[in-house]
Amino acid sequence: MTPGIEHFLTVGALLFCLGLAISLSKRNAIGVLMGVELMLNAVNLTLITFSRFAASPNPVSGHTFVVFILTVAAAEAAVALALAVAVYRNRETIDVDRLNLLRS
Amino acid sequence: MLFLAAEPSAALTPTIDQAVLWAIMGCPLAAWGLIALYLRKLPAIAGYAAILGIGAAMLLSYVTLFNVIDASGGVAQYTREWFTAGDLTVPIGVRVDGLTAVMLVVVTTVAFLVQVYSTGYMQGDPGYGRYFAHMCLFTTSMLGLVLADNLFQMFIFWELVGLCSYLLIGFWFHKPSAAAAAKKAFIVTRIGDLGLLAALLLVWTRAGTFDVTAIQEWAASGEAKSALVTLFALGLFAGAAGKSAQFPLHVWLPDAMEGPTPVSALIHAATMVAAGVYLVARFFPVFEASPDAADVVAWVGAITAILAATMALVQTDLKRVLAYSTVSQLGYMMLSLGALGYVAAIFHLFTHAFFKALLFLGSGSVNHATNTFDMQKMGGLRKHMPVTYWTFVIGSLSLAGIFPLAGFWSKDEILLDAWRHDRALWAIGAVVAFMTAFYMFRAIFLTFHGTYRGGEPVDHHDPDNHFHGDPAHPHESPWAMKAPLLALAIPSIAAGWFAYDHMFKDFIEAALPHEGHHGSSFEIGIAVSSTIIALAGIGTAYVIYIRRWVDSSSIRATFAPFALVFERKYFLDDLYEGLFVRNIFYRGWCRLLETVDRRIVDGVVNGIGQVGRAASSRLRAVQVGEVQSYGLGVAAGVIIIFLAVIVANPL
């Protein structure tokens, strides 16, 4: 049996849900970041899937989109890790539960 | 004589250039601007600037008068459009005729002499410059009022003279009584002005014009319903009653004596208070067309005349005697207008302006010597102040109506018109004439005869005190004050002689749009009877206050209830203050407004604020500052939207 569009999409959806669950539940900021990365890649997978299977007049656009997201994700990871380091230097913790200074 | 060139019934158009008419207004206005902008701190020049400006206006007024005499009192009018707003076209213009010319001469002459007098009387006052600025502005406004050729323009100047009156009554505004009197004058006249404003709106909506001649013709033509004309006339009269201190709006004028005495002479005796009479005279054909309104005018005038005269009987303040006398004489003029004695009313306005200004200035001169207006502290001033005494006597004789002084002629015409119109009006007029003679000579005997009772000691510790003389040794006033007294004594004697050969009558009547008989000239029976009445009044005063055959206090005791009513001003002040102001206005209306303001207006504003605060205090709980909670919220929101879309669009 050849895997069809529904298989790819299911995997993408599962990955996205996993990523969401991780980023909402992890206390460690690095863990939250990893969850975010997972969600981004789940989206990438979904885009590629549609680009491959849907009768799009311009199939390249899906691929292009993915490449852009990868680039942005890399930049985001760099910025976020730098933030994590900066926060740790200031607060000596990267536990997101304790980073609640904006509380009313 | 002046008027011999006049051909009766052949009124021409005066050839006077309109630039002259505008300049009459412009000269005092320029003086006002100059003083207000540059000379307030230079009192030495401010007085002369005022004299110069008003003097120039006076000369131009005489030029105008002679020009109008050449035209036998005909009408000249120069109008242009001022502005248009929708259907409303407001003209601006000047109009001159016999009535205007007489008013111009009266206003500028009295104003000029009062300015001269003021340079002496107001000497050393810290508000000297401000005083002359206000006086110039007043003169401008008053001249604008008499020159106006339409009701709208008249209304503007009408309010301006009211403003100047307010400013000048409250000239010594640091005295609480003066500030209160100024407010009282402003508010009470404003009640009457409401009627004038209503009349203005009525005539605009129904006649579609503000022009004086057009309104006169509109009322006389009969094309308007008579009820409408009556309403218009009563509105005009309400305004006039406020300005001219007619019952029941007369209460402000006696209090207005808080202002400087020359102000009282100019504004509250000679000119502004006569503006009401002028207004009714200007629109005389309207009152002719409405007999009901004319009757109201006549009876209000009669009631005013007698009420004020009775109150004048018991005053101990010299200036207040004159104030009530003014109210009484204004009532006389209104009585005359209501009895369709147009000429007599204006003639009395003309003569009264001179002798009443003279009397006020005389009382100021007395005050200058004694530091008081209380007649109980005067007496015997005849020897110390001969010029003041004799001019005061001339003014009083004229006011009492003794032949051949000015007041005799004009008062006689009024009594004659009243006699022909309604005997009851004549009877009231005769009683008032008796009282007038009595209270004026009571004032003279108390002030100038007998022995001097010391005046009011000067309080050198009072910072408001600017009195320089020595009340214990009264002295005659300086020439700046004596000269105007002497100058005013001349018209007080002679102004009545213009009645000769109907000169004044023909001149004044030419201002009306149609021929008719508006009053009479002379009848020997009335003249003799009124002279006897006046002499009786003087004699009574002589018997009581000089001969002392009867003690004045025993008379007061005999008629105690009457004296009380007179002294308490018929309880009208108590009625207005106690009932209308305190109870109806403060306790009723103001309390109601306060409740509305506090409960409804403030309630809405505070309510909006409280809703916001309550909502935000609930919403604060949501903002916990944990980024994961927000993320959960976002995810939950997305899921809810997703489910909602699915439910709304089933596959």
CATH number for the domain running over A5-91? 1.10.287.3510
Name the one residue in this structure whose structure tokens are 């004296």.
B563
Mean pLDDT estimate for chain B: 85
Q: Confirm if B165 and B272 have CB atoms less than 8 A apart.
A: yes
The dihedral sign for the CA sequence B104, B110, B113, B116: negative
From A63's Cα to the closest Cα of chain B, the distance in A is 26
Confidence of residue B28 (pLDDT cuts 50, 70, 90): very high
The structure's pTM equals 0.77
pLDDT of residue B567: 77
Angle of helix B43-70 relative to helix B98-121, nearest 10 degrees?
Answer: 160
Interchain contact, B632 vs A24, CB within 8 Å: yes
With a CB-CB cutoff of 8 Å, which residues 7-66 of chain A face chain B? 20, 23-25, 32
B281 has a pLDDT exceeding 50: yes
- Nearest-by-CA chain B residue for A23: B628
Q: Does residue B234 surpass a pLDDT of 70?
A: yes
Percent of chain B with pLDDT over 70: 95
Q: Using the beta-carbon criterion (under 8 Å), do A100 and B632 form an inter-chain contact?
A: no
Q: CA–CA separation, A32 vs A24, rounded Å?
A: 7
Q: Which residues numbered 605-634 in B keep a CB inside 8 Å of some CB on A?
A: 620, 623-628, 631-632
Domain residue spans in chain A? Answer: 5-91
What was the pLDDT predicted at B31? Answer: 92
Question: Chain A residues with CB inside 8 Å of B626's CB?
Answer: 96-97, 99-100, 103
Q: Any idea what the Cα angle at residue B481 is, between residues B480 and B484, rounded to 5°?
A: 95
- How many whole angstroms separate alpha carbon B355 and alpha carbon B399? 7
- Asked if A104 and B623 come within 8 Å (Cβ–Cβ), the reply is yes
* Confidence (pLDDT) at B9: 46
CA angle B372, B272, B348 (to 5 degrees): 95
Distance to chain B for A103, nearest Cα, Å: 4
**How many CB pairs below 8 Å do chains A and B form together?**
30
First to last CA, chain B: 115
pLDDT at B137 over 50: yes
A99 shares contact with chain B (CB less than 8 Å): yes
CB-CB neighbors (< 8 A) of A20 in chain B:
635
pLDDT digits (tens, 9 = 90+) for B45-70: 888 899 999 999 999 999 999 888 88
